[in-house]
Amino acid sequence: MSAPLPLEEAQQRLLELAEPLPLERVDPPSALDRWLAEPLVAARTQPACAMSAMDGYAVAGNDLSGPWQVIGESAAGHPFAGFVAAGHAVRISTGAVLPDGAGAVVVQEDVSRDGDRLILTGDGPGSPGKHIRRAGSDFSEGAVLADLGARISPAHVALTLSAGHRHVAVRRMPRLTIIDSGDELAADPADCAPHQVPASNGAMLAALVASHRCEVNRRGPIPDQLDELIAALEAAAGADVIVTSGGASVGDHDLVIPALQAWGAELDFWKVAIKPGKPLLVARRGRQIVLGLPGNPVSSFVTAWLFLLPLLRRLSGAADPLPMKRTAHLTADLAAGGERREFLRGVLTEGVVTPALGQDSGALAALAGSNCLIDRPAHSPVLPAGTPVLVYPLENGGIA
């Protein structure tokens, strides 16, 4: 049996199995939290012409002291059709087109108006060009506004529309099937015998991927019976990714590997040198990728966070599917590490991190109270308080 793989090698092997899904074009609001399948290129210039940045009066650029005669108005969506000569002013609203001849905007707080006569009472604009948004000051036609693989934020939705696009290119959303398995799992948490535990991993994993825009189908809990597991895999024929939780270890009742083999899947690798989560397995049947996660809830969460989320991002066309990490300083001593690289639960606050008290792979309360994973290398010595360590923020799947 081969040795467990290092984390980065296992992640790379998994991502190499996956190709981005087919491209599709959707309206910009439907693309939120997905990844660009093509660079976003401006189809128009924004602003298309010079506009006022303030409410006030547009005046000729060489006439900034007044007085002026008001000759009309330029409102947002209703530009003034004439020309502004020296000694003339046009009432103008924020976002309205700057009239021809105007070179500055005097804000309304700096003037006093009597009928059509306008007098400067404040400091005025001071210099030509003041309070004007020049044509193309945001972007020009043909400019690349966002790169291939960028995640689409609410601001990108507005940017896409402002750039003149009815649709945006993204990858089809991944189809994910989550299979909970284990004789010990109770489907009803309110009706759970002492020898059982409530089936919670499937719901947790579905919640974990919720921010990653995929189609999720849950099955289970499935009993520890080979035919039942094979049937569950068969029922997931339309999925791009199948995730099993439980049954991936080496016990007499761990039947995921035999079920995968009987189903026709080819095992790519099994076991990763991390804690928690060593029994993780990756298999493939055709274009379908199977992730076999451990059954302990914290192990299931950590391995899904380190492997499932990057896989979904890869299928969705993300430029950088791996989670981001940062440095924080320990608030308390951290005990020496063991033979495997560990991902400890902790609380990250303003550059410092506090390890959680409960680090058992079944400690859900400690997991729920944590917002980061502390990366402790294998064979790490005791780390005193104040030592810098690498941490992975859990928020939003560990991506910006």
Confidence bin at 199 (pLDDT 50/70/90): confident
Residue 121 has pLDDT above 80, yes or no: yes
Which whole number is the average pLDDT over 370-396? 96
So what's the pLDDT on residue 220? 87
| pTM of this structure | 0.91
Confidence bin at 250 (pLDDT 50/70/90): low
Confidence bin at 249 (pLDDT 50/70/90): low
So what's the pLDDT on residue 155? 97
Residue 400 has pLDDT above 80, yes or no: no
**Contact 201/297 with Cβ under 8 angstroms?**
yes
The DSSP letter of residue 301 is H
Which whole number is the average pLDDT over 114-120? 94
Residue 362 has pLDDT above 90, yes or no: no
- 37: closest CA among 112, 121, 147? 147
Candidate CATH numbers 2.40.340.10, 3.40.50.12780, 3.40.190.10, 2.60.120.10; the one for domain 326-398: 2.40.340.10
Largest Cα–Cα distance of the chain, in whole Å? 94
So what's the pLDDT on residue 272? 97
Which whole number is the average pLDDT over 196-225? 93
Which whole number is the average pLDDT over 51-67? 90
Classify burial at 266, counting beta carbons within 10 Å of its beta carbon; exposed 0-12, middle 13-18, buried 19 or more.
exposed
Which whole number is the average pLDDT over 119-128? 85
**Contact 80/62 with Cβ under 8 angstroms?**
no
CA distance 153 to 176: 23
Which residue is it, tokens 């606050």? 349
What residue spans of 18-153 are helical by DSSP H?
Answer: none
Which whole number is the average pLDDT over 341-370? 94
Amino acid at position 221, single letter = P
Residue 344 has pLDDT above 80, yes or no: yes
CATH code for the structural domain at 7-21+172-315: 3.40.980.10
| Comma-separated ranges of CATH 2.170.190.11 domains in the chain | 51-133
Indicate if the alpha-carbon torsion angle 247, 249, 252, 257 is positive or negative.
positive
CA distance 291 to 247: 12
Looking at domain 51-133, which CATH architecture does it have? Beta Complex (2.170)
Which whole number is the average pLDDT over 101-122? 93
So what's the pLDDT on residue 61? 80
Which whole number is the average pLDDT over 26-36? 97
Average pLDDT over the chain, rounded to an integer: 94
Confidence bin at 129 (pLDDT 50/70/90): confident
| Comma-separated ranges of CATH 3.40.980.10 domains in the chain | 7-21+172-315
Residue 126 has pLDDT above 80, yes or no: no
Looking at domain 23-46+138-171, which CATH architecture does it have? Alpha-Beta Complex (3.90)
**Contact 91/116 with Cβ under 8 angstroms?**
no
CA distance 49 to 135: 4
Residue 252 has pLDDT above 60, yes or no: no
pLDDT digits (tens, 9 = 90+) for 295-332: 999 999 999 999 999 999 999 999 999 999 999 999 99
| Comma-separated ranges of CATH 2.40.340.10 domains in the chain | 326-398
- 239: closest CA among 276, 296, 290, 279? 290
